[in-house]
Structure 1
Amino acid sequence: MPPRTAAAGDHLPSLLLLPPPPHPATRLALNTAYEPSLRAAISRLKDDKSDIEEDGSVLIVALTSSILTGSFIRQKTLSWPYVQSILADIYSIISVISAQLSIPTDIHAGPGSVDVRVVLVHHDPSKPALADSKPAIEPNNTAVVELATFAAAYHPWKYIFHPNNEPGYQLLSTYLKLFEGIQSLRQSQIVVVEGGLAVSVAPLASPQLSPQTTSHSVVCLGGTFDHLHPGHKLLLTAAALLLKVPENGTSNPCQLVIGITGDELLKRKKYAELVQSWDERAENTIEFLSSILELSKDGWKKRQSPLIEKGNDFVARFRDGTIEIHCVVIQDAYGPTITTEDMDALVVSGETRGGGNAVNDRRKELGWRRLETFEVDVLDAEGIVHKSSETQDFASKISSTAIRKLKAESQSRI
């Protein structure tokens, strides 16, 4: 979860606590509510001189919301379209801020970069979140955890940022009570940042009343994942949210199968000399997912990097082996979707929906069941989010090519 250079424990990620989103959660409302806090935290980390971090800073944005529904811990559900839409808007806001401030946001981008990762945390401010005892780690059957579990599993922090408004102070107060005894914090580590304006009206349908999404045991997606950027982070997070996580001790973990384009297919890409190797792209993908999926009472103190089994595929396991990540080399448009029958869901973007249709056509020819397809929004480099229902020209999407171009131009000036 923290940068790989944090072996000595000196380079820690920071936390930004965001209160629940406004209703309705339109892009304008989300921008008004969250942009000031995000901008202040990102700027602070870029300019922070307390230590020199070879890989840049990591900021975990805990977006709290009443996301989950269900009376029992092992039977939680969520509305995937609602959640991925909010994630897309938040990552788009982050991308705009970073572009305006000339701050790289891809993983391990070097000094001056801020690798921002959004983690969804279930929290209903109208209900008590405090237990009688010290918060325990209680994972449910989704990738989303409740605030008490987040406090118990995510630590230690370099800074904890919170908005300067009433919801921000209420959230900080609740969190610090849950966090008591986990990390000793100096006053200088708790940083108040500008808060936005959240105007809420009665929603037509709350997230709990929206149609709940069926989760799946095997979810598949694909991409290059070169210089892992906000578009990739959105895609990976959205896919992880579809997993049906089994109980501890199961012999059948859920699987997130990620097809990552092989090195040979990328040799003709623009600025190919700056394309990261397959191994590095797979390692960064797994490291990012650890921010969402791994839970340990030791936080990340004793696990600076996820343990990866390296063979033909890269395999990592989280949550006591209940979740498996399989990074697979792909050399064509289909990848493992036409070599492995036992899959349930496929995650695509508006840009790649044609590929998803082709996959299902090929599976039909093989006599296999179709994969349920889920489409994430596409982030535009100008801050526009192209919703999955729209047909758009994706020429201006956030891309690894643009990142490589900037890196090439930076190197040429040295």
Structure 2
Amino acid sequence: MASVSTSALLLLPPPPAAEFDQLKYAYEIILSTVCSTLHLKLEGTDRVATLDVALSLPGLLAPSSRPRTRAFASLQSILEGIYRLIGIVCIEHRIELDMPGGIDARVILLDCDVARSTEKNPAVPRDGPIVDLRTLAESGRPWNSVYYPDNQIGLNLAASFSSFYPPVAELKSPGSGLLHAIPDAPHWTPSESVMTLTALNEATAPYTVAVGGTFDHFHIGHKLLLTATALVLQPAEDADAGKERVLIVGVTGDELLVKKKYPEFLESWEERCHSTGAFLTAIMDFRAPGTSKPQLEKALEPGPTGKSILMKIRPDLVFRLVEIKDPFGPTITEEDIGALVVSKETRSGGAAVNDARTRKGWAPLAVFEVDVLHTTEVPPDDAEDFASKISSTDIRRRRMEKALQ
């Protein structure tokens, strides 16, 4: 008998403030309840429960927030806080993250302005990781449950969401069908100025964005980095008609990983690409059911530029997963790349890339830095466990220990 999938959506109203302690105050109880509920539904099996966390933030899609890289620093910091909180909650409840028997959480950003959702042009499909209510509700995701906090702002958000939900009677109103209120949620007043915008002349809207990494045993640190990368890419609604937007992910080649610890538990390049591509699709592809499926092209024979996988999500949106054999990858072989996303612990790599491009007479890349997931605010007894869950090396070590049992 085929296993039943466990998939849920959590609607989070805007927070009282962007600081982590305020995110924790507003969302910890809600996340604890939802994650524990999904974990119980797994019934001790090796299945993985999927949780889409839609975090509402005011003004995300407003004209004043364009280009959206103006809000990059604020948004990536908030994303870091939410993923950190998910990690804290799962450690507290002894729930695995992104492993069999655990939860696969993906955070997307939601503009809950009903007027902007109503005015959406259906001819221009909006892609994540920032979506409007209508795009989210009509995406056809196979959620078994939709959760929201039982406070007033949660009820308002659920009511707005359900107004766009498919016309099935049991799903049409909060409190019925698959819509579930989370009890004991705190009450707060949402902030109207969560985002800090940079000056307009400092913003950029690149059509090609690059990021690199190993992406072994995909975890929430990888999710933060890739979501931030998706934020930099020019969104469909602002793009020139017919112009292709490309997200390039350099995935470290197998031969560069031979000196890694516990090499026998390293995932292959193809496995790491699969996890990376699946996550990007989950946070960016919100097309309604019935649309054409993404096209997949593989070039797995080693060549001058290594292996590659091309995922054409739509004619105007492409993911390129390329094998990297040095610290630069395609950033110094492809002049038309416009931006590079790095973690703050690898910021020197961005400077090295731009030095190399300058020597070739090319324009430097706009470099966007992403926070490293912090273990601050984690109870001391759990901090080491949290750090191990966002370390590919420690994940391989735990896999080895489990295999030896």
TM-score (normalizing by structure 2) = 0.84
| Structure 2 match to 1:193 | 182
Sequence identity, in percent? 37
Verify: 1:224 aligned to 2:224, yes or no.
Answer: no
Q: CA deviation at 1:103?
A: 2.1
Contact 2:147 2:181 in 1 (8 A): yes
CA-CA distance at 1:49 after TM superposition:
4.5
Give unpaired runs (5+ residues) of structure 2: 300-306, 379-386
User: Aligned ranges for residues 61-72 of structure 1 at < 5 Å?
Assistant: 61-71=53-63
Distance 2:157 2:22 in 1: 19
2:5 partner letter:
H
From the superposition, tell whether residues 195 and 154 of structure 1 become closer, same or farther in structure 2 (CA, over 3 Å): farther
Asked if structure 2 preserves the Cα contact closer than 8 Å seen for 1:270 and 1:401, the reply is yes
The equivalences for 1:72-221 within 5 A come to: 79-106=71-98, 109-110=99-100, 112-124=101-113, 128=115, 131=118, 139-140=125-126, 143-181=129-167, 185=171, 187=176, 189-194=178-183, 196-197=185-186, 199-200=188-189, 207=195, 211=199, 213-221=203-211
Let me know the Cα RMSD of the aligned residues: 3.3
CA, structure 1 residues 105+343, in 2 after alignment: closer, same or farther (shift >3 Å)?
same
Deviates more, 1:290-299 or 1:146-155: 290-299
- Secondary structure at the aligned position of 1:32 is classed as helix
**2: distance between equivalents of 1:347 and 1:324?**
17
Cα pair 1:32 1:196 within 8 Å, conserved: no
Counting only pairs closer than 5 Å after superposition, residues 332-411 of structure 1 correspond to structure 2 as 332-381=326-375, 398-411=390-403
Contact persistence 2:57–2:194 (CA under 8 A): no
Q: Residue by residue, what CA displacement relative to the aligned partner does 1:153-194 show, whole Å, maximum 9, x if unpaired? A: 142311111112111111111111210416954946333224
Displacement of 1:98: 1.7
Task: Tell me if the contact between 1:220 and 1:345 (Cα under 8 Å) persists in the aligned partners.
Answer: yes
User: Which residue identity is paired with 1:374?
Assistant: F
CA distance in 1, matches of 2:196, 2:21: 22
Q: For residues 371 and 66 of structure 2, what CA distance do their matches in structure 1 show?
A: 29
Aligned partners of 1:324, 1:57: CA distance in 2, in Å? Answer: 27
Contact 2:345 2:372 (8 Å CA) reproduced:
yes
1:58 aligns with 2:53: no
Q: Secondary structure at the match of 1:61?
A: strand
Q: Which runs of 5+ in 1 are unaligned?
A: 385-394
Contact 2:111–2:131, Cα closer than 8 Å, also in 1: yes
Whether the 8 Å contact between 1:222 and 1:260 is mirrored in structure 2 is: yes
Q: 1:232, CA displacement in angstroms?
A: 0.5
Q: Deviations over 1:32-86 (max 9, x none)?
A: 0111111111111111157x86541110001111242444999777511111110
Task: Map 1:189-338; keep pairs closer than 5 Å.
Answer: 189-194=178-183, 196-197=185-186, 199-200=188-189, 207=195, 211=199, 213-246=203-236, 250-298=241-289, 307-311=295-299, 312-318=307-313, 320-338=314-332
Q: What is the match of residue 304 of structure 2?
A: none
Preserved contact between residue 344 and residue 370 of structure 2 (Cα < 8 Å)? yes
2: distance between equivalents of 1:152 and 1:182? 12
Mapped to 2, the partners of 1:356 and 1:195 lie a distance apart of 45
The alpha-carbon distance between structure 1 residues 177 and 223, as it changes in their structure 2 partners (threshold 3 A), is same
1:18 to 12, 31, 38: 12
**Shift of the alpha carbon at 1:350?**
1.1
Distance across 2 between alignment mates of 1:216 and 1:349: 19
C-alpha separation between the residues in 2 aligned to 1:211 and 1:139?
Answer: 28
Using the TM superposition, give the Cα deviation of residue 99 of structure 1 relative to its aligned residue in structure 2, in angstroms. Answer: 2.1
C-alpha contact 1:143 1:240 (8 A) present in aligned 2: yes
What residue in structure 1 maps to residue 33 of structure 2?
40
Call closer, same or farther: CA 1:195–1:358 in 2, change over 3 Å. farther
Distance 1:330 1:32 in 2: 42
Tell me by how many angstroms 1:197 deviates: 3.1
* Structure 1 residue aligned with 2:382: none
Answer yes or no: is the 8 Å Cα contact 2:42–2:48 preserved in 1: no
Whether the aligned pair in 1 keeps the contact of 2:208 and 2:246 (CA below 8 Å) is yes
- Partners of 2:163 and 2:169 in 1: how far apart? 12
| CA deviation after TM superposition for structure 1 residue 381, in Å | 4.3
Single out whichever of 161-170 and 240-249 deviates more from structure 2. Answer: 240-249
Provide the C-alpha distance between the structure 2 equivalents of 1:141 and 1:201, rounded to a whole number of angstroms: 25
Change (3 A) 1:183 1:225: farther
For residues 75 and 81 of structure 1, what CA distance do their matches in structure 2 show? 13
CA distance in 2, matches of 1:135, 1:367: 41
Equivalent-residue separation in structure 2 for 1:382 and 1:412 (angstroms): 32
More helix by share: 2
- Superposed CA offset, 1:256-308 (max 9, x none): 111001111112211211111110111111110111211321189x86xx542
1:410: Cα distance to partner? 2.3
Indicate how the Cα distance of structure 1 residues 317 and 130 shifts in structure 2: closer, same or farther if over 3 A, else same. closer
Query: Structure 1 residues 295 and 188 mapped into 2: Cα distance closer, same or farther (>3 Å)?
Result: closer
CA distance in 2, matches of 1:197, 1:282: 40
